Amino acid sequence: MAESAGSVVLARSAMNRAATEGQRPAGRPVRGARRISAALAGLAASTRHELLTFDDPVASADRAIPEPFLELAGACMRAAAERAGEVRRIVPRHALPRLEDGPRIPGRARFADAIPFKLIVVDRTVAAVPLDLELLYNGLLLIRDPVVVQALVRTHHACWTTAEELVRVPPPRPGDAAPEPLRPVLEALLSGLTDEAAAARLGMSARTYSRRVGELLAALGTTSRFRAGAEAARRGWV
């Protein structure tokens, strides 16, 4: 975690230094839905080898963002992922249910407790960061300065090494049995044990138990442990 936090500071310091000390700006601001859409399409078209992202699919929820823009942005990222030989996507833990329900993006994905900012890096030569660090729709900074891009790559790498691999558990149809690996977790969850006690009973670390609970909630299509019990009962899992 210390290495990850240090890399975030390094990335931000590099952007500030390039902007204030260099002979050219760290990046080019892009504003307006049409220009932002064109910039995302350009990134997708230029992708050849690698795509690195920090992504939060929940960030745009309940925001006044036109649906056509969201669809185009999603299509651009899927196109870039399909063109790249290596895709590494990091999402925050709270976005896991949305990730399971949304369109599948090729490549590998891991989840962390949080992401430092939204980020796209293409082939380690160009990066895009939202001007507000959260929503591309509010404007983005296209970065080609090699020092800043390398700092962002290091930030992503540090977060990737500490993030957990995303294992997709397909949601079962009503009436099916609970997925075998998640059945003990469901029983522990319904027993009312604390996470620490449940993890000890199942012979898991607290971190592994928390991850399995997240997988169970995703399989049940909810983020609420209370609703998970009701949904499990409805499906005949208990």
Q: How many residues does the chain have?
A: 238
Token pair in block for residue 143? 């970065």
pLDDT confidence of residue 24: 52
The pair phi, psi for residue 27, each rounded to 5°, is: -165, 175
pLDDT confidence of residue 19: 47
pTM above 0.85, yes or no: no
Q: Is 89 helix (H, G, I), strand (E, B) or coil?
A: strand
User: 117 with 80: CB under 8 angstroms?
Assistant: no
Give residues with Cβ within 8 angstroms of 147, minimum separation 6: 14, 17, 18
pLDDT confidence of residue 165: 83
User: 159 with 4: CB under 8 angstroms?
Assistant: yes
Task: Give pLDDT < 70 ranges for the chain.
Answer: 1-25, 99-103, 167-177, 238
